[in-house]
Structure 1
């Protein structure tokens, strides 16, 4: 029976139930709804609405139902109830009769769902936070395995300057650390409790909202009842944080797809994260990475959808807000899956260090070194840049690398180029001169990796 049926002479049409009922997706908040209901029953006891025996009976029944929900032993598909709140109350009333009908005293589904959803988002962010930490670990382990490997660095997808593969790995560690900080900021900002705000104007019963908040693990109650029941900032922010994190995963996926391609040939992905072609027997497709890249757009869509839904809503609650659930639930699932599969991809792949090094030596990636060499001889950088560019043109015409050019040919371009230039043009020299903080020298990368491994140990314990 609907919780609001007394005002109506007839029931809902099948079509209305199809568009209105949310139990098919909001049942995922069953544990949170039951937990909130237990705490509300205690608040009602303290306010004198329930006596101790009544509250004890309610909590016992709800506790049993919560255990079933945690164990996945509830079949929601056969229930006629419209949402998870109706389902829990119907169960309670079936077990306790009219006593079960007392639980909703002073409470609205508006503050109830706002509380449930904050609890659900908070719980899932905790899981995803751990997923991010696991992926950071996988990147660090990958960097550690290939600490001496060198790959070409790219701008505009053109070979630019060589970098250590560990430096590439640590770049994504930095992104994931920012994702973690955004998750932590969101968890702190959303940690206020709406319960006790009623439908929009508060409640007339003397419940202790501070105690309710603390019992549910919130830092404080929401301070305005209108805002408490209609705020979905926490969902939007979760979707934004997810979108940013998924964008980072998508960029990493794109890098690895390219590195895995026949054109680059820098690495091989494991059989467990790739698939074949139904027609071409030789194919080994990077489907896990392509799906990560594809799911990024899906998550972006959920963020945009809820922004558009919320932009024109007046205070306080409107049923449009029910549209916050499915996108957020799907986002949390896809985000979790992609973080986990990224770990499997990194653990499965093997790096062809010889091919990587060969590519890093091609494309005249040491041209900047020639310019810097000339700067050290008191030639203005812009002039040195032009001279190095002329040397690259001459090398291309001869089909040689810069370091393979005859000294006489280099000196014909500029007289100040001496034989000591060859040392500057070697790959290790190109890398290890970049020894300032954040650079790609062996020393700076090794130090950064060591620090991040220590930080990761601390993160695992946080």
Structure 2
């Protein structure tokens, strides 16, 4: 068939190139797992197909020529040419591109999300390390863009860390939805051969199958959920980066030399551009949700390109933006420094005026009256207008006293901050351990595929022990990305 040049340019060629660059290993994994399952069922030539797929995947896939429409048919054509049509045809028994494509798509996205979660953990680790290094360093925080109350740098950063922890949980939840295998669903009604779909999912390192076979090929919510989690992450990072830019504006946060740029005209400029670029990437995450929602909106609940093939490029771009935002924010924290004196430049008696109200109330003055007295004593909170001794007021309104009185759960008191730091570190360790286990499961599945049908039973019996050993041996190690 000769495809129209416009269709080849904007659809077939573009999709083929993307699949050739990003999806080929996942197509071979899915086809190999499926051939192994057919071999277990005694389908003729299926075992030969397993061997043929293993050999073929070591060879480069041809570039797009227009002779075949997609990567699957390119693989099928080569199997037919070099191993014969019966071997090639064996892997198509009960297989549809519907379940095959969605399996490859989900496996690809799963691996990208696992890598991104590693980037996320590294940022959280750096955030806690910077907070611990600056424990007790005071600063003035704002509400409604005006100086409000004192806090400490570690208390502020622990608040950011808590927000990012929830974003991490949302991304993990999106992965839980994504981490399900469509293989064996066939076109939509289910496979005519008695394939074990749970076994297929295990062979490919998924947590399990997508249960309903129509849902397996028709749902696009896994993409929506992932885009939503990334949008939430982008929002949180953007808010943090906006704060850092505000601190950089007055010199309280000095960006490292390797992350700043000068001006082509003004020699005095040293611009904290790393924060701006990180915020650009964060903004792209927020905007991506609209694209994914549009691809799913008003589409019937059937297999369609809108919510299958159509989501891959936008999601790939979003995952790239998420990596950039996380990594740029991380290096900005690692390579820059806070200036303690400038963090406190907005400290004034007015910032501690609420403490004067509290002092009067503790002395028996009604709250409303105390509030009016302090307002009338501004600016400077003059003690003669409050009816208290100057020394007493100064001691009560000291930063040390302010912090010491706030030892509630999550407060800025020294003990409360130390306890919050310990809990945050514990949660980080638990999240790292869980990620190691997820990665171990995928690695084990790939080892099963490499060993073939003869090694599956023995390996499956050792699965739990092997995974636990990997978790225990690697939970403190930094795994390379991807």
Answer yes or no: same fold by TM over 0.5: yes
Within a 5 Å distance, the mapping from 1:101-250 to structure 2 comes to 101-250=89-238
Which residue is equivalent to 2:414?
Answer: 442
Deviates more, 1:327-336 or 1:140-149: 140-149
Which residue is equivalent to 1:298?
Answer: 284
1:39 counterpart = 2:33 = yes
- So what's the TM-score if we normalise by structure 1? 0.87
| Gap runs ≥5 in structure 2 | 435-482
Q: How many residues of Structure 1 are paired with residues of Structure 2 in the alignment?
A: 429
Any conservation in 2 of the 1:61–1:92 contact (CA below 8 Å)?
no
Any conservation in 2 of the 1:149–1:357 contact (CA below 8 Å)?
no
Q: Return closer, same or farther for 1:165/1:229 CA change in 2, 3 Å cut-off.
A: same
Any conservation in 2 of the 1:377–1:416 contact (CA below 8 Å)?
no
1:372 counterpart = 2:358 = yes
Q: Return closer, same or farther for 1:52/1:44 CA change in 2, 3 Å cut-off.
A: closer
CA displacement at 1:166 relative to structure 2: 0.6
1:341 counterpart = 2:328 = yes
CA displacement at 1:344 relative to structure 2: 0.5
Any conservation in 1 of the 2:184–2:195 contact (CA below 8 Å)?
yes
Match of 1:352 among 324, 330, 339: 339
Any conservation in 1 of the 2:281–2:324 contact (CA below 8 Å)?
no
- Structure 1 counterpart SS, 2:345: helix
- Structure 2 counterpart SS, 1:151: strand
CA displacement at 1:417 relative to structure 2: 6.2
Match of 2:11 among 13, 16, 20: 20
Match of 2:404 among 432, 439, 452: 432
Deviations along 1:85-128, whole A, 9 cap, x unmatched?
33433443444242234322311111112111211121111111
CA displacement at 1:207 relative to structure 2: 1.7
- Structure 2 counterpart SS, 1:179: helix
Match of 1:315 among 294, 301, 314: 301
Deviations along 1:139-164, whole A, 9 cap, x unmatched?
11111221131111111121100110
CA RMSD after TM alignment: 2.2
Q: Using the alignment, how far apart are the partners of 1:454 and 1:303 within structure 2? A: 32
Deviates more, 1:432-441 or 1:199-208: 199-208
- Structure 2 counterpart SS, 1:290: helix
| Gap runs ≥5 in structure 1 | 1-9, 69-73, 396-400
CA displacement at 1:449 relative to structure 2: 1.9
Within a 5 Å distance, the mapping from 1:378-393 to structure 2 comes to 378-392=364-378
Q: Using the alignment, how far apart are the partners of 1:225 and 1:63 within structure 2? A: 28
Q: Using the alignment, how far apart are the partners of 1:51 and 1:92 within structure 2? A: 12
Match of 2:254 among 257, 263, 268: 268
Deviates more, 1:12-21 or 1:229-238: 12-21
Q: Using the alignment, how far apart are the partners of 2:109 and 2:372 within structure 1? A: 56
Q: Using the alignment, how far apart are the partners of 2:268 and 2:163 within structure 1? A: 35
